Structure 1
Amino acid sequence: MGLKYIEPIKSIVLLLLVLLSITFTLSIWTYTPRLDPIEQSPTVDISIGQRKNVKEIIKPYKFMIKNDEFMRGTTEQLDIDQIVNEMATWKITQLLRNPVEMNKKQMNEFFRQQNQFTLYFQGDVPLSVYDEILEIEEVNIPQFSFDRLVVKWNPKDISFEVHFLNRASGIHYYGRVTPIDTMKSYRSLVVGSEAYKNYAEVLQPDGTYLAVSNESLTIQKLTYFQEELSPTRFRDALFNDPNAVRRSQVDATHEEFGDDHASMIVDTDLKMLNFVHPAAETSESIKPSELLIDVIDSINEHGGWTNTYRFSHINPSYRYVKFQLFTEGYPVHSNAKETTEIAQFYGDDRVFRYIRPYYMLDDPLSEEVELPSGVSVANALMNSDQLDFGTVEEISVGYMMRHDPEQRVYVMEPSWFYLVKGNKNWKQYTPEQDGGEQYGLE
């Protein structure tokens, strides 16, 4: 009789186990524990200085215009900004490449033509990057870089045509201009330029086109009190884990920050730092436009524009980009020991090497200094027995920076500088140039 109830009992026990399993499962699914709210960790702001766009970083340093009546020009930054802002309202259409590459003679003859103005750039600017400033109506903008931008106008119908030229390669692109208001652009760019300083061409033995101001200039001599950023801010911005970084004293004027992957040497005397991340090194090719944007973005990531720096040089083969310090609209040069540049080698999706100053320039004390005309400087260089004037390709105004650590000041001395062909470093002109020393700048 006991055996009679075994099977029903088994069924009842199995049912109870199934119901108990379902109950436990539902309780797990629907259970909500009472937890204290998690406080979100505050985000760390590693913005050291400013973030800037392409228009603020890529700027011409000189504007020169000529027609049948005059040749004028300016290096005043406010003037140049107004010119670029007006051109930013244009659209460039029907962009074409000149099938014939210009030789040096053809290039110089092109610059001598009438009814045109020229914007001068320090480095080779990738056209596809400059499209962010001057709109180019082209689906596939060519991988081409220029260092001179020439705008021609037709006096009869007041139409414009833009030309992008690379003096080293002779490559030349051109396109039609569609302004929003043609007459406004003409009045602003052509008629308005009559107020600029007189310019004149200086004849070169090999026919190189060189035009400089024919009037003296009044420039401000500037004195900045020494200010600096803490190198630890760059440590926090550049290393993956700032807490893992070790700090050590190398000698009286050098400190080293480092972890197992990267290092940063700080020169406390010259206020410079040199960061390197060896694992990021690469020799893979890269387009100039991509390289320039990558470097600008990497500096923007930590707000690295602590002073006014502008694009000045690019070498895609070495994945190298350089930015020049500017103040009051003029480039600042220095001697071999002090730097006025930000230089970066961009590696595999990140910075490989990053060399830069960490001093700050705030409100300066100023006094007026008069400089001779560019023509008189050119004549002095022409008569110098220590220089082959035929090798000079450009003459321009800038500042020579002198650091006085005892007085804790940076002094910016206005001066003329000249650029020798095949050399990316400007040289300072001094009144003793006729028989005196030539100062090479790094």
Structure 2
Amino acid sequence: MMEKTKTGLLAALVIMSLLQSYLLAYSMPGLGVTTSSAQDYVPTESMGQEGKLENLIFPEDIVLHMGKGKHTVLYPAMNFFNLIYTKIQSREFKGFQRNTVSVLDWDAVRNNDQGVELRFGTGVPVELLGKVLKLEGDLQFLDDVIDRIWIFKSSEREEVRTYFFSANGTTVYESVKADLTAQDVQMYVGFGEFQTAYTPVEDDLYIPAGPIESQQAMVKYQTYSPEQMQRNLFFDPGVTRAIVDRSGSQIFTDGKRGLQVEQNGKWISYTDPVAGQGGSDSESENVYESIKFINQHGGWDGLHRLIHSESMNTLSVSYQQYYSTQFYGAYPIVPNYPFMFGEMKLRLQQGVVSEYARSLITLDKKAESQEVRWLPGGESLKSELAHYSRRGEVAALYPAVLATTEDDNVLKLEPVWTVRLDDGTQEVLIASLTRKPKPGEPGGAALPPVDGTALESGDGKTK
């Protein structure tokens, strides 16, 4: 028995000796002296939350057409907005037939037929829209960009028709095999019964009949440090150097890439001028790669929406940040220039990022303080829009929050009516009010008729 034990120990020692000799001979990691070189990569530092394409594509707003000239508008993250969008995402859209936009009198459809209109702002490429909706169509449809979907029930018969509008403004695609019923449309429209009434004006803009209740918030924030972004964006931070330009901005560079830090460390612009290798570009590929790049380099702070560029020659991708409130939905954030905040912009070539600009601010999940505000409606808003100096360029009108820096790392997020122009620029049209205007006052609803008939009005809150 003792001899067998000795023999086993001896065999084990021989095996261990052979294994150690092998490891030394082939220089396995962790053994011997290690040296660093310029080729060593630094692991990416985990920063913000990761994002997914499915959470970045949603309508800019949803318009409910209730027939007899009645309309209302729902904004992202409102309860009824989420409910309608989720239900439509579960439906199937097939059998697309191409036609010109003049195939129907859309003013008549708007005023006479019950329907729901999902409006995607500057549009979404069908290839990407198919990731959030169940679409099946021919190549001509799949290569297009859709800026709205209009589902309506004919006032004359129990027939539901579904149209996808091309962003080119001249083409529509009817889904003749859409998985929707008249009862579905009636249910969607029913959600708008107690919402604020809206009136359509030219260019498919909508004006609320009265003021909309909203919320101003004071929100504390944290910031990533420029050094964190330096470590995150450069393969070898050890070979980068920091310089300060004439404007006072700090710049990190490794001789090829550059990272410019502005706004006292709150905004960065990254460039990699040799990223592109030539060849054609796929917008969908660039979007996927931009999401992956942001996930790895700074992450996401809250809700964002993909913004499609109307120019097909550009390689840029941008994401609009939203601020979510407890009762009033989510509003896009617009910066109070020269302060920059609320959007991430990237430029890509063949799926490789060559430019990246973003804020280093991350908002606390809970506001430090909140106050009720009222966005003016009625004739006051209509007049402000009509007299706006760039009225002919207005593509959209919507409530947003204006971000302004305060002391002690606090942002003031003030509700405002904002316009988006044809070139993508966002400008504040009119500020909110501290109290609800009465009927007949500026920003309030119209006075009741002389016969005393009450006018419909709401407060804009989700019931």
Report the TM-score when normalising by structure 1: 0.78
Cα distance, 1:348 vs. partner? 3.9
Cα distance, 1:76 vs. partner? 5.0
Cα distance, 1:370 vs. partner? 1.2
Moved more, 313-322 or 337-346: 313-322
| 1:254 aligned partner | 249
Q: Does 1:230 align with 2:225?
A: yes
Moved more, 341-350 or 161-170: 161-170
Q: Does 1:381 align with 2:420?
A: no
Q: Does 1:128 align with 2:124?
A: no
Q: Which residue of 350, 368, 378 maps to 2:352?
A: 350
| 2:370 aligned partner | 366
| 2:261 aligned partner | 266
CA distance in 1 between counterparts of 2:41 and 2:189 reads 54
CA distance in 1 between counterparts of 2:321 and 2:263 reads 19
Give the SS at the match of 1:195: coil
Can you list the C-alpha shifts for 1:292-349, whole angstroms capped at 9, x where unaligned?
Answer: 2232232233352134322123244120111112102101112442222111001244
Moved more, 394-403 or 42-51: 42-51
Can you list the C-alpha shifts for 1:245-276, whole angstroms capped at 9, x where unaligned?
Answer: 32334468422221132110111426100000
Cα distance, 1:129 vs. partner? 0.3
Query: Who wins on radius of gyration, i.e. which is larger?
Result: 1
Task: Determine which structure has greater relative contact order: mean sequence separation of CA pairs < 8 Å that are 6+ residues apart, divided by chain length.
Answer: 2
Q: Does 1:57 align with 2:67?
A: no
CA distance in 1 between counterparts of 2:293 and 2:153 reads 39
Q: Which residue of 314, 317, 321 maps to 2:313?
A: 317
CA distance in 2 between counterparts of 1:409 and 1:299 reads 24
| 2:424 aligned partner | 424
Q: Given residue 164 of structure 1, which amino acid in structure 2 is its aligned partner?
A: F
| 2:65 aligned partner | 66
CA distance in 2 between counterparts of 1:183 and 1:168 reads 29
CA distance in 2 between counterparts of 1:259 and 1:244 reads 6
Q: Is the 8 A contact 2:403 2:412 kept in 1?
A: yes
CA distance in 2 between counterparts of 1:146 and 1:121 reads 8
Give the SS at the match of 1:430: strand
Q: Given residue 352 of structure 1, which amino acid in structure 2 is its aligned partner?
A: S
Percent of matched pairs sharing the same residue:
19
Q: Is the 8 A contact 1:271 1:358 kept in 2?
A: yes
Q: Which residue of 324, 327, 334 maps to 2:323?
A: 327
Q: Does 1:163 align with 2:163?
A: yes
Q: Is the 8 A contact 1:108 1:209 kept in 2?
A: no
Aligned residues: 393
| 1:10 aligned partner | none
Cα distance, 1:210 vs. partner? 2.5
1:304/1:381 Cα in 2 relative to 1: closer, same or farther (>3 Å)? same
Can you list the C-alpha shifts for 1:336-364, whole angstroms capped at 9, x where unaligned?
Answer: 42222111001244110001111111122
Can you list the C-alpha shifts for 1:96-139, whole angstroms capped at 9, x where unaligned?
Answer: 222x3559x96666655622221122322101101111111347
Give the SS at the match of 1:194: coil
Gap regions ≥5 residues in structure 1? 1-26, 433-442
Gap regions ≥5 residues in structure 2? 1-13, 32-39, 325-329, 433-463
| 1:11 aligned partner | none
CA distance in 2 between counterparts of 1:76 and 1:350 reads 31
| 2:436 aligned partner | none
Q: Is the 8 A contact 1:418 1:429 kept in 2?
A: yes
Q: Which residue of 193, 218, 221 maps to 2:216?
A: 221
Q: Given residue 404 of structure 2, which amino acid in structure 1 is its aligned partner?
A: R
Q: Cα RMSD (Å) of the superposition?
A: 3.4
Report the TM-score when normalising by structure 2: 0.75
1:265/1:290 Cα in 2 relative to 1: closer, same or farther (>3 Å)? same
Give the SS at the match of 1:84: helix
Q: Given residue 417 of structure 1, which amino acid in structure 2 is its aligned partner?
A: T
CA distance in 1 between counterparts of 2:96 and 2:88 reads 16
Q: Is the 8 A contact 1:143 1:287 kept in 2?
A: no
CA distance in 1 between counterparts of 2:255 and 2:52 reads 34
Can you list the C-alpha shifts for 1:394-424, whole angstroms capped at 9, x where unaligned?
Answer: 32111111113x443211111112234x332
CA distance in 2 between counterparts of 1:102 and 1:278 reads 45
Q: Is the 8 A contact 1:121 1:147 kept in 2?
A: yes
Q: Is the 8 A contact 2:113 2:155 kept in 1?
A: no
CA distance in 2 between counterparts of 1:378 and 1:366 reads 28
